[in-house]
Amino acid sequence: MDTPDRIAKLFSDCKEKGRAAFVGYVCACDPDFNTSLQISRSLIDNGVDLLELGVPFSDPLADGLTNQLAAQRALESGCRQSDVFRLVSEIRSFSEVPIVFYTYYNLIFSQGVEEYVGRAMDAGVDGLLTLDLPPEEAGELVDSSSKVGMKNVFIIAPTTPEDRIPTIVEKASGFLYYVSREGVTGERKDLASDLDRRIEAIRKYSDLPVVVGFGISSPEQVGAVGRVADGVVVGSALVNCISENLDEPGSIPAAIGARAGSLVAGLGPG
């Protein structure tokens, strides 16, 4: 099947411009479907290059409190799996920005792996980042994905031994996600001191772009990571815009767009 590789095109374009890609994370349907759609549009309009959509899940083990509460709000608003696919379809009506699902394997497996991948591809999803699926057990998902051009993003952590990196990159496609901090998601005040060394170690084993996330929350941090990585992921700093404005939901898209714009500016011109 001939499908557009939006992810490869994005990183190629960013490389030509001499800058890193900005990846923005929000939970789909937080705080509700219509506001989430407006949030997605605002993020894209304010410079987000790749949209990472969290798929609401009742037991999000890798997420800190900010993103746990986002998933809870989405589920309490009545969000179903079909709504998440519908959200992507609606975004595709106005944007070709790459979209990656940040999800957990039970949500994929319970629907049937091949069926889920097909639905995601039909909606316009470009990649799946399945947080709790180790590459050794990802054969069925990777095979189903490769048939239709879906990318599979895998995480490399600070605790990952270097001799394990080849096992991870063998199954990965689209890009690699380096978690800059141990633990769960959430804003941090400082960056890991060995970030450039860790990214160099990953690049010895793969030509895939390396994006860095978990804990990045200021324009200065975005700039610092963008100088050594191919992409910078910001999540909690954006999601907090939603929780901070729940008493006035209509203000959320503008607020989150403004914050995204200020963070993207940390990458400088390009």
User: Which active-site residues does the annotation give?
Assistant: 52, 63
Full 3-state SS string of the chain: CCCCCHHHHHHHHHHHHCCCEEEEEEECCCCCHHHHHHHHHHHHHCCCCEEEEECCCCCCCCCCHHHHHHHHHHHHCCCCHHHHHHHHHHHHCCCCCCEEEEECHHHHHCCCHHHHHHHHHHHCCCEEEECCCCHHHCHHHHHHHHHHCCEEEEEECCCCCHHHHHHHHHHCCCCEEEECCCCCCCCCCCCCCCHHHHHHHHHCCCCCCEEEECCCCCHHHHHHHHCCCCEEEECHHHHHHHHCCCCCHHHHHHHHHHHHHHHHHHHCCC
Residue 232's DSSP bridge partners are: 22, 212
Distance CA 77, CA 115 (A): 25
CA 31 – CA 108 distance, rounded (Å): 23
